[in-house]
Amino acid sequence: MAKQQEQDWVDQHVERWRRTFRGFDPEVEGALVRIGAINRHVKRANATAFGELGLGPAEYDTLHTLLIQPEPNETTPAQLAEACHVTRAAMTSRLDRLVELAYVTRESDPLDRRRIIVRPTQAGRAVWKQALELAVVREKQTLAVLSEAEKVQLNALLRRIVLGLET
């Protein structure tokens, strides 16, 4: 006899929709609601972890984007804004906060004084590394219920979806 699979709150959500909406695809709804729930869980867990270090998610995102730039880890505010998918005004606010925390510097480019260069400080590198380590632990915990083979399978399926979105 096949083992009955446990139900989660999404199954209840899907069942309510199934009763009220004709043409509803329960597998699509279930998958998308679960992806959203996982995303919200990871974001909340990371926000908590970053908060323990005095960082908000926006500050972490900016530091992370800056520190994954090729050495010497420097860029312009406009390039950071584009990479973080935020407006230049939003990036200015983020950078103001990071400068206030002494995690980045903004300096004029010696070759073109109109251009501003953003660089991480040692303190910025250190807090980013701490935040990253906390995030990695929480992210691993999120997928700990899966075997390595299941994680590979999940990634393959999600990759197919992402590639389908890009075409």
Q: State phi, psi for 106 to the nearest 5 degrees.
A: -120, 120
What is the tens place of the pLDDT at every residue in 122-159? 999 999 999 999 999 999 999 999 999 999 999 999 99
pLDDT of amino acid 2? 52
State the amino acid at position 10 in one-letter form: V
Strand ranges for 13-159 from DSSP E: 104-109, 112-120
pLDDT of amino acid 105? 97
Segments in the chain below pLDDT 70: 1-4
pLDDT of amino acid 17? 87
Q: In the block, which residue shows the tokens 């997928």?
A: 143
Q: Which CATH class is domain 24-135?
A: mainly alpha
pLDDT of amino acid 4? 66
DSSP, collapsed to helix, strand or coil, labels residue 75 as strand
pLDDT of amino acid 134? 93
pTM exceeding 0.75:
yes
Q: Where are the domains of the chain?
A: 24-135
